[in-house]
Amino acid sequence: MIQLTFRFAGREDAPAIAALIEEGYRGDESRRGWTTEADLIDGSRTSVAEIEALIVNPNARFLMAFDNGALIGCALIKNENGEGYFGMFAVKPALQGGGHGKQILAHAEQQIRDLWNCPRIAMTVISIREDLIAYYERRGYMRTGTKPFPFAREPGAKRTDFHFVVLTKPL
């Protein structure tokens, strides 16, 4: 397995991160991987402005993962009132399934421990994405609750028969 290198994003990285997240979740390119939401939701997953706002948030960091200098993955980590949060996780669709996601997730968990000393980490996953939920459960995450999906903010939803599952893991 290739050993990735990591760094935190600066504002200048926001366009590349937004493009990677779009590639990983929405549109035709996302269908090359197994994390696509393209059959569930049309439209943009994020924006450069949203990424920039998260980058300048003192309680958030975007972790960027590189293979030989090329950006191949990213993840948002946050300190939400003393609990770690993991989201906006993307790996280039053509590279999914090669172990890169495992490395990024492990590095993100370590960064949440190192930066904020959070006792646990949480994330949300669309409830009908059982394969993705199982991926996280194999890595020690447990289903601990649900949240409504923000359909009002996602006018491109093709279905409305889902919600978020909250997954948590002690750190």
Q: In what order do the strands lie in the sheet with 83-91?
A: 5-8, 60-67, 70-80, 83-91, 120-126, 164-170, 142-147
Question: What CATH class does 5-170 carry?
Answer: alpha beta
9 φ/ψ angles, rounded to the nearest 5 degrees:
-80, 150
Convert the pLDDT of each residue in 115-158 to its tens digit: 999 999 999 999 999 999 999 999 999 999 999 999 988 888 89
Q: Nearest 5°: phi and psi at 169? A: -150, 135
Q: Residue 99: name the closest of 65, 140, 134 by CA.
A: 65
Give the percent of the chain with pLDDT over 70: 99
Least confident of 3-7, 46-50, 91-95: 91-95
Task: Write the CB contacts of 35 (distance below 8 Å, at least 6 apart in sequence).
Answer: 24, 25, 90, 91, 93, 96, 132
User: Which position has the higher pLDDT, 28 or 100?
Assistant: 100
Structural domain boundaries in the chain: 5-170
The structure tokens listed for 99 are 């172990």
Query: 32-36, 44-48, 79-83, 153-157: which has the minimum mean pLDDT?
Result: 32-36
